[in-house]
Structure 1
Amino acid sequence: MNIEQLKYIVEISNSGSLKTAAEKLNITLPALSQSVTKLEKELNVEIFHRSRKGTYSTQKGEILIQKANGALEKLQEFLDEAENFSDTLKGELKIAMFPGPLDLLADQITLFKKDFPSIKASIEEDNSQHVIEKVIKEEVDIGFIIFKEEDIQKYKNIHFHKLYDGCMVVAVNINSSLANKSYITEKMLENQPIILYNDQSILEFVQNLDMVESNMEILFTTNNVETIRYALERNTAINIGYDYAFKTITGLANNNSYVTLPFVDTLINTYYFGYIYAANKGISRVAKEFLERLT
C-alpha cells in the first residue's frame, strides 16, 4: 500500500467513475484499475462495486475511504509542520480566479514576494467553472470564484470559503430607457439586445427566465470584459451579471456611462464570491500563509 493508492480511492469515491477519476488523476484507466485491485487484494477488502452504471464504494470501503481522506489531510499537516522548521517559506503559489480582484491579488502577491522571495507565484483568469476544474485536477492551489449553495453540495471534494454575498444585476447605459427604473422585471428585458459574460451561473440564471426563448435577444456571450464595457458605454447592448463584477473589475467599476439595477424581488438570485481548494489534498503552508494575509 502507498500514498498514491489512498489518493486514488478518495478520487474514485468523489468522481463515482473510474474513467473520470483517471482523467482527473492524469493516469491511464487500466493503471488506476490495476492499482485499486491490488490494494483490495492486499487488504482483502472489496472497496468498490463496479458496474456499467458506475463505481460505488461498499459499506466497508466507505469507512476505509474516510480513513484514507483523513490520512491524506494528516500527511499534508506533517509536510507543513516539517516546512515550519525552515526559516524561509519556499514553494509555489498557483492561483486561478474569476475576473475581478486581479489588482488586489497582484498587490498582495507583490508584498508576499517581498517577505518570501523564494516563492514562485502565478495568477490566471478564467470563468468559475474552469477554475473549479483546475482545482479538482490540482493544477492550481487556490481558486477565487463565484459560486452558489448548489455548488457546495455538488462538489464534495472541494472546500468552499465565502468572502462576499451578492446578487445578479442588469447594467444599462445612462441614456437607456431602463436607466431610470428602480428595478428590472422580465417584461423589461423583452427585445433588449443583451451581451453575457460566459459564466455558468449567469447563463443558468438567464436560461431559467420564463421569456428567454421567445422575446430575449442574446447577441452573444464573451469572456472579454472589455467587450462588455464597450457595448455598455456605446449603448449597443445591456448586460446581466454579478453586482460584484461592477464593483471590482477594472474597466467596469467606477464607470459613469452606465448604471446597475437590481431585479424585482421575485427574480433575486444570490451567489457568493470566495476561494476554494481541493479537499483531498488540503492546503499548503504557502497557500495558507497567503490567504491569512489576504483575509
Structure 2
Amino acid sequence: MRIEQLLYIIEINQTGSISLAAEKLHVSQPNISQAIGSLEEELGVKLFNRSRIGAVPTEDGKLIITKAIEIMNKVEELRETANFQFNQLSGSLSIAAVPSLCLSVLPPTLAIFKDKYADVDLVMLELDYPQVLQEVLCGQVDIGLVSVSRDHECKYPQLIMEHLMDCRIMAYVSRKSPLSHKSSISIKELLEHPLLVSSDYLIKTFKKHGEPNILFKLGNSEATKRFITEGIAIGFYTETGMRKDPYVETGQIIALEITGEDFGVSFRTIRLKSRHLSQTCKEFTKELKASIATLL
C-alpha cells in the first residue's frame, strides 16, 4: 500500500470519475486504474463500481475511503509540524469569499499573511454565497467566507461553520438625494423608492413589509455605486464593507441606518469536516480574526 493510492481513491470519490481524478492529479488514467486495481487486490475488496457515467464507491469502498482521508490528514499534519517548527509554512491556500468581505477585512488580512508567509501560494475567489458554498462542498477550496442571516443554521452535516462577526446592513443614497440629510430610514420609506439589491435575503426581508420597487438586482460592483451616486436608486452594503470606501469617504454616497427590521448579517467561515485543517489555514484564520478585531 502506497500513500499515492490513498490519494487516488479520495480524489476519485470526490470527482466521481477516474478520468477527472487523473486530470486533477496530473497522472495518466491507466496509472490510476492500475494503482486502484493493485490496492483492491491487496485489500481483498472492490472499492468502486465502474460504469460509463463514472465511478461510485462500494459499501466497502466507503469505509476504506473514510480511513484513507483520516490517514492523509495525519500525513499532512506530520509534514506541517515539521515545516512549522522552522517557520517554513508553505504550500497553498485557496479561499472563496463573498464580495462584502473582499471589500473590507480580506485585503489587510492577506497583506499581513503574505508578508509573514511568503512561500504560501494564495488563491482567492470572489463569489456570491451559493457559489462559495458549492466550491467548499466540492472540495475545490480550503475555506469559504460567507455572509448569512444572524439566525442562520447550517443545513449541511458535512460542513463546519464558525462565526466571525455580525454586521449591520445600511442603506446608501446619493448626496443629491432628498434623503441625504437623514441619519436613518424606515423600511416603509425604502419601499417608496427604487432599490438596488444583491441578495434574495434582502428581497425576502422587504417583502415582509410590502412590494419593493427593485430597479436592478446587482452585486457589490462599481456599477452599483455609480447608480447610487447618480441618485438613480438606493443601494445596500454592510457597514464594515463600506467603512473605507472612496465614495463614502468623499461624501458622494451617504449611509443611512435602517429601522423597523433587523437588517444584520453574520460573517462566518465554512469548511469540510473531512478536509484536514492545515496549519496554513489555521494561521490565515488567526490573522483574519485579528483584522476583524480592529473593526469592532
For the criterion TM > 0.5, the same-fold answer is yes
Contact persistence 2:171–2:257 (CA under 8 A): yes
Q: 227, 231, 236: which is aligned to 1:235?
A: 231
Matched, 1:206 2:209: no
Look up the match of 2:293: none
Aligned CA-pair RMSD? 4.8
Look up the match of 2:7: 4
Instruction: Please give the per-residue CA displacement for 1:219-274, whole angstroms capped at 9, x wherever unaligned.
Output: 342451x2222222222101244344334x63365464322222423xx3543213
Instruction: Please give the per-residue CA displacement for 1:54-76, whole angstroms capped at 9, x wherever unaligned.
Output: x9999887766654554343333
Offset, 1:189? 0.8
Distance in 1 (CA, whole Å) between partners of 2:172 and 2:237 is 8
Contact persistence 1:173–1:259 (CA under 8 A): no
Aligned partner letter, 2:167 = G
Offset, 1:40? 7.8
Task: Give 1:22-33 correspondences, 5 Å limit.
Answer: none
Task: Give 1:65-104 correspondences, 5 Å limit.
Answer: 67-99=67-99, 100-102=101-103, 104=105
Task: Give 1:108-123 correspondences, 5 Å limit.
Answer: 108-123=109-124
Contact persistence 1:173–1:258 (CA under 8 A): yes
Matched, 1:290 2:284: yes
Aligned partner letter, 2:224 = I
Task: Give 1:14-53 correspondences, 5 Å limit.
Answer: 18=16
Distance in 2 (CA, whole Å) between partners of 1:280 and 1:286 is 17
Q: 1:60 to 1:94 in 2, by over 3 A?
A: closer
Matched, 1:183 2:200: no
Matched, 1:251 2:246: yes
Instruction: Please give the per-residue CA displacement for 1:61-95, whole angstroms capped at 9, x wherever unaligned.
Output: 77666545543433332232233354533223333
Same amino acid, percent of matched pairs? 20
Look up the match of 1:166: 167
Distance in 2 (CA, whole Å) between partners of 1:206 and 1:138 is 30
Distance in 2 (CA, whole Å) between partners of 1:58 and 1:269 is 47
Offset, 1:128? 3.0
Query: Please, which runs of 5 or more residues in structure 1 have no aligned partner?
Result: 13-17
Distance in 1 (CA, whole Å) between partners of 2:74 and 2:120 is 24
Aligned partner letter, 1:142 = I
Aligned partner letter, 2:235 = N
Q: 244, 261, 272: which is aligned to 2:266?
A: 272
Distance in 2 (CA, whole Å) between partners of 1:270 and 1:221 is 19
Q: 1:44 to 1:243 in 2, by over 3 A?
A: farther
Look up the match of 1:218: 215
Aligned partner letter, 1:210 = K
Q: 1:161 to 1:215 in 2, by over 3 A?
A: closer
Contact persistence 2:183–2:255 (CA under 8 A): no
Task: Give 1:148-167 correspondences, 5 Å limit.
Answer: 148=149, 150=152, 152-154=154-156, 156=158, 158-167=159-168
Contact persistence 1:90–1:119 (CA under 8 A): yes
Aligned partner letter, 1:154 = Y
Contact persistence 2:154–2:161 (CA under 8 A): yes
Instruction: Please give the per-residue CA displacement for 1:170-202, whole angstroms capped at 9, x wherever unaligned.
Output: 3334534594655323x7414x211123xxxx2
Look up the match of 1:126: 127
User: SS of the counterpart of 1:195?
Assistant: strand
Distance in 1 (CA, whole Å) between partners of 2:250 and 2:114 is 32
Distance in 2 (CA, whole Å) between partners of 1:126 and 1:145 is 9
Contact persistence 2:206–2:212 (CA under 8 A): no
TM-score scaled to structure 1, two decimals? 0.66
Aligned partner letter, 1:77 = E
Offset, 1:6? 5.2
TM-score scaled to structure 2, two decimals? 0.66
Distance in 1 (CA, whole Å) between partners of 2:105 and 2:143 is 15
Aligned partner letter, 2:215 = I
Instruction: Please give the per-residue CA displacement for 1:20-54, whole angstroms capped at 9, x wherever unaligned.
Output: xx79x969xxx8xx89x96888767788999xxxx
Distance in 2 (CA, whole Å) between partners of 1:95 and 1:10 is 22
